[in-house]
Amino acid sequence: MVTTPEQFLEIQKTALEVLQSATLTSIEGFEKLTALNVQAARASIDESTDALKSMTEAKDARQLAEMATGSVQPATDKVTAYYKHVYEIANETGTELAKLFEKQVAEGNRQLFAAIDAMAKNAPAGTEGMAALVKQAVSAANTAFDQVSKATKQAVEVAEANIAAATKSTTAGRARKAA
């Protein structure tokens, strides 16, 4: 419970620090995505230029068709790698933001329990049960939040495993075709 201006200022300072951390984490993620996109654009321009040069040097239609079909698989691999990088950046940024959020929730709960204790000390006799009930309700809400958080983390792990399996399957399929 906020009883002094200093406590209020400390709460505001903490909230500002969390906001700043979240903003910086988001900007770092955006910077990584931008760098990836610039890199992908440069590579695409270089590869397109090389492909066009090769096509102009083709002697006949058969050679041109072979060039076109030969470039499909590498392009698919590059798109898959690009999206994997995008996913990794988004996942990393989301994980960092989740850590900040969880830390803020824990601090908020600590302050809430302190406020409930302070109110219970100043409350009239016989209201102790009400304070215990409020604490139980907050604990139940925290437990529900923890369960949702764990379920979300498990879902992310399953998605990551599926992406890894799909990538491995695609790679294995290409290896069989090449052999």
pLDDT in tens, 49-69: 888 888 888 788 888 777 777
Give the highest mean pLDDT range of 21-35, 77-91, 156-170.
21-35
Domain that holds residue 55: 5-178
On whether the pTM is more than 0.75, the answer is: no
What does the chain look like in DSSP terms, one character per residue?
---SHHHHHHHHHHHHHHHHHHHHHHHHHHHHHHHHHHHHHHHHHHHHHHHHHHHHT--SHHHHHHHHHHTHHHHHHHHHHHHHHHHHHHHHHHHHHHHHHHHHHHHHHHHHHHHHHHHHHHSPTT-HHHHHHHHHHHHHHHHHHHHHHHHHHHHHHHHHHHHHHHHHHHHHHHHHHH-
Domain count, the chain: 1
For 133-144, what is the mean pLDDT? 78
The answer on pLDDT for 171 being more than 70 is: no
69-97 pLDDT, tens per residue?
Answer: 777 677 788 888 898 899 889 889 988 98
